[in-house]
């Protein structure tokens, strides 16, 4: 059984990588940023009526531009070297305008850098600290040149406002990248969880179908085998007994086919009318003459007109019929019930039925018992099932096989009961001999 490709979800690609991730590779964006910086420094100097000396403004612009080629890998170093270049050129009189804005790209890169878990690379705090130092130096330098306080305030105030704007935009950009990364990580995590849940459901469905197949097939083959043996032995001496045994075998086979059809409904597409059922009679197959729908002449089972059943619809209401079939094998079975069994929910009812069915089947096959007692009680918010025989105390050869890793009978009953939150015990009934199976299934909301 494999996952349906229409229902499984492939995990999306990796989360978006932030543009500020450290990288040794120079990208086209870095080159474009460098070129824009060179042009912007020259144009800004011209717009602010600064000197466009070939030995001043142009070398500064080229130096700031070249530094930006490695801004992703060393953002702090690039900003420090850029600020140092501006201070040196201004102090030397090679250029006379701009303190913060010529290194706008370097400030933005560092402020937008977000490297959690890397000591010494906080990004925004470094940008703020370097900016305050540069603004303080700018104010001191302007004042030392004899400029009026109003002029110093206007100049450094404008630079401070520009720095605040750049840092705000960079922070917003960083937060957006971080948000996108978190969203992508959440989408990826959700996809993986959905895939894991789908695989878990597939595994549970396979296990459920395996248990149903084991219980149905084992019970059917056991009862039918006994009846065929009886029919063979009585064919000459007692034809009526032989016919009765064959009729019983036919009824058991019919019930088993109905159960198997329900399992097939789980596996096939509800819209599929191709008719790939069990015992199909497409003209060259075996047709069923009993009128139970097996191998109908259309070429298979008709597609269900209603949603497929999730499991064979057996339950506690069918216990009498089950016990009658077992009795036909020669085993004396006493059935004792108590409580309103019809009020048990379908999952618990099916599980209890399968426990009784498997226990009695194992008794017939392995225990060599003459009598068995089945007690089913619904009381105290729980459904109690107790099956005991007077056989040799082995009850189920699967018990030994379970120890060797190959058994399915006791293991299947235990899995059924525990899947519903119940308790299960199976083993020799030491005080009286024989073999005992006990199960308790919770029935939420039941009040006797």
Q: What is the pLDDT of residues 50-78, one digit of tens each?
A: 888 788 888 999 999 999 999 888 899 99
**Residue 161, pLDDT score:** 95
**Residue 265, pLDDT score:** 66
336-353 pLDDT tens trace:
999 888 888 888 888 898
**Residue 346, pLDDT score:** 86
Fold of 321-448: Heat Shock Protein 90 (3.30.565)
Sequence-distant (≥ 6) Cβ neighbours of residue 330 within 8 angstroms? 226
Query: Residue 283, Cα to own-chain centre: how many angstroms?
Result: 45
SS3 for 310?
coil
**Residue 422, pLDDT score:** 92
d(CA 26, CA 440): 69
Listed by start position, the domains of the chain span 28-147, 321-448
**Residue 66, pLDDT score:** 92
d(CA 446, CA 138): 83
d(CA 39, CA 60): 11
d(CA 216, CA 278): 14
Q: Where are the alpha helices (DSSP H) in 235-282?
A: 239-267
Strands ordered across the beta sheet of 332-338 = 332-338, 371-379, 382-389, 435-442, 423-428
As separate numbers, helices (DSSP H) first and strands (DSSP E) second, the chain gives: 11, 5
**Residue 395, pLDDT score:** 52
For residue 224, give both structure tokens.
Answer: 């039918």
For residue 228, give both structure tokens.
Answer: 């065929």
d(CA 243, CA 251): 12
Low-confidence ranges of the chain (pLDDT < 70): 1-24, 114-121, 211-212, 214-219, 259, 262-313, 393-408, 431, 445-448
**Residue 18, pLDDT score:** 41
**Residue 103, pLDDT score:** 93
d(CA 400, CA 408): 11
Q: Which residues are paired to 335 by β-bridges?
A: 374
Dihedrals φ, ψ of 385, to 5°? Answer: -125, 130
CA distances from residue 263 to 64, 69, 334 in whole angstroms, order as listed = 74, 66, 30
Give the pTM.
0.47
Sign of the C-alpha dihedral, residues 262, 266, 267, 269?
positive
Contact 369, 420 (CB under 8 A): no
Contact 444, 381 (CB under 8 A): yes
d(CA 380, CA 378): 7
């Amino acid at each position: 059984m494999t996952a349906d490709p229409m229902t499984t979800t492939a995990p999306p690609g990796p989360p978006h990588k932030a543009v500020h991730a450290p990288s040794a590779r120079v990208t086209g964006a870095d080159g474009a940023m460098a070129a824009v910086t060179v042009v912007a420094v020259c144009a800004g100097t011209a717009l602010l009526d600064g000197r466009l000396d070939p030995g001043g403004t142009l070398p500064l612009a080229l130096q700031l531009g070249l530094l930006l080629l490695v801004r992703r890998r060393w953002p702090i170093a690039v900003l420090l070297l850029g600020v140092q270049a501006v201070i040196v050129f201004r102090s030397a009189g090679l250029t006379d305008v701009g303190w913060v804005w010529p290194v706008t790209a370097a400030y933005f890169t560092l402020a937008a850098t977000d490297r959690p878990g890397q000591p010494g690379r906080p990004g925004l705090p470094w940008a703020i600290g370097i900016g305050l130092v540069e603004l303080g130096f700018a104010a001191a330098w302007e004042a030392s040149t004899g400029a009026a306080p109003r002029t110093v305030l206007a100049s450094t105030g404008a630079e401070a406002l520009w720095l605040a704007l750049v840092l705000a935009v960079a922070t917003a950009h960083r937060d957006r990248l971080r948000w996108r990364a978190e969203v992508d990580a959440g989408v990826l995590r959700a996809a993986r969880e959905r895939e894991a849940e789908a695989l878990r459901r597939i595994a549970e469905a396979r296990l459920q179908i395996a248990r149903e197949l084991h219980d149905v097939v084992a019970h059917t083959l056991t009862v039918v085998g006994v009846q065929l043996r009886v029919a063979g032995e009585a064919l000459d001496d007692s034809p009526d007994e032989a016919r009765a045994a064959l009729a019983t075998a036919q009824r058991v086979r019919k019930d088993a086919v109905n159960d198997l059809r329900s399992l097939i409904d789980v596996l096939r597409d509800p819209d599929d009318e191709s008719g790939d059922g069990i015992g199909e009679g497409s003209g060259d197959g075996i047709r069923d003459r009993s009128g139970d729908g097996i191998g109908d002449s259309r070429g298979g089972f008709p597609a269900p007109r209603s949603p497929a059943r999730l499991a064979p619809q057996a339950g506690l209401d069918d216990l009498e019929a089950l016990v009658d079939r077992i009795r036909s094998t020669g085993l004396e079975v006493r059935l004792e019930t108590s409580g309103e069994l019809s009020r048990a929910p379908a999952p618990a009812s099916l599980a209890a039925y399968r426990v009784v069915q498997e226990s009695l089947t194992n008794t017939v096959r392995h225990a060599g018992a003459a009598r068995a007692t089945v007690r089913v009680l619904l009381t105290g918010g729980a459904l109690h099932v107790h099956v005991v025989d007077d056989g040799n105390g082995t009850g189920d050869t699967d018990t030994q096989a379970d120890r060797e890793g190959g058994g399915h009978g006791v293991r299947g009953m235990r899995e059924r009961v525990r899947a519903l939150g119940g308790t299960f015990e199976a083993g020799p009934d030491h005080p009286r001999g024989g073999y005992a199976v006990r199960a308790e299934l919770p029935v939420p909301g039941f009040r006797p």
